[in-house]
């Protein structure tokens, strides 16, 4: 009888733990992500891979989504190119990183369907196309970070690296990759 009571207490504790976790996740969603995007005037269009690139835009493993490196390509297909600090201002680089964030959100929506499943933007690696004397990479990649926080609130605040690169594919102004935690 003691074993049965002990087993019952273990099951009850486990059920309460799951219920508390569900309530915590539910509390994260006090607004709808799609409505937030609309209020910001953001339209999502999933970027397509250039011909000859044999990768996935996103890979899901358990509750994590790994977003491939993506760059600033507008909804009408125009790539934002050039070296920040030489060909582009920091503000133009910031805007390019913001466009990249919109592209990542579009890919994420395509992968998981409902953006309200996003628990957290976990980690971001931002790469800025610049010459070796440029040192303001964080200010450029803030365009990505700021948009993620605008859209996802505290869930958008993430760990991040912002680094300079001598060149990027297609001479893109920046490229960003990210890891996103989702709920099932």
Residue 138 in contact with residue 57, Cβ under 8 Å? no
CB 121 within 8 A of CB 167: no
Tens-digit pLDDT profile for residues 59-115: 999 999 999 999 999 988 899 999 999 999 999 999 999 999 999 999 999 999 999
Residues 161 and 174 in one domain: yes
Q: Which two tokens stand for residue 162?
A: 């912002």
Q: What pLDDT score was predicted for residue 73?
A: 95
What rounded mean pLDDT belongs to the chain? 89
Instruction: Indicate the pLDDT class of residue 24, thresholds 50, 70 and 90.
Output: very low
Residue 95 and residue 25 share a domain: no
Q: With bands split at pLDDT 50, 70 and 90, how would you rate the model's confidence at 11?
A: low
Confidence of residue 49 (pLDDT cuts 50, 70, 90): confident
- The number of distinct structural domains making up the chain is 2
Containing structural domain, residue 25: 1-30
Name the residue among 34, 71, 104 with its Cα closest to residue 170. 71
- Find the CATH number of the domain harbouring 78: 3.30.1330.40
Are 165 and 123 part of one and the same domain? Answer: yes
Q: Are residues 161 and 107 part of one domain?
A: yes
Q: 98 and 143 in one domain?
A: yes
User: Do residues 180 and 121 touch, judged by C-beta distance below 8 A?
Assistant: yes
- Tell me which residue of 132, 131, 128, 130 sits closest to 140, measured CA to CA: 128
| Per-residue pLDDT, 18 | 46
Based on the domain organization, do 60 and 143 belong to the same domain? yes
């Amino acid at each position: 009888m003691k074993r049965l009571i002990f087993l019952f207490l273990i099951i009850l504790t486990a059920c309460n733990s799951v219920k508390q976790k569900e309530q915590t996740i539910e509390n994260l969603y006090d607004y709808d992500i799609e409505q937030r995007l609309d209020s910001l005037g953001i339209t999502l269009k999933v970027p397509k891979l250039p011909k000859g690139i044999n990768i996935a835009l996103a890979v899901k493993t358990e509750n994590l989504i790994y977003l491939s490196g993506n760059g600033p390509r507008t909804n009408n297909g125009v790539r934002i190119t050039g070296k920040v600090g030489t060909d582009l201002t920091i503000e133009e680089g910031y805007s390019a990183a913001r466009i990249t964030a919109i592209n990542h959100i579009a890919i994420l929506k395509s992968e998981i369907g409902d953006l309200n499943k996003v628990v957290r933007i976990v980690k971001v690696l931002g790469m800025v196309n610049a010459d070796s004397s440029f040192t303001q990479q964080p200010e450029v990649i803030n365009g990505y970070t700021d948009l993620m926080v605008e859209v996802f609130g505290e869930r958008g605040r993430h760990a991040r690296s912002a680094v300079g690169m001598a060149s990027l594919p297609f001479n893109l102004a920046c490229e960003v990759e990210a890891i996103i935690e989702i709920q099932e």
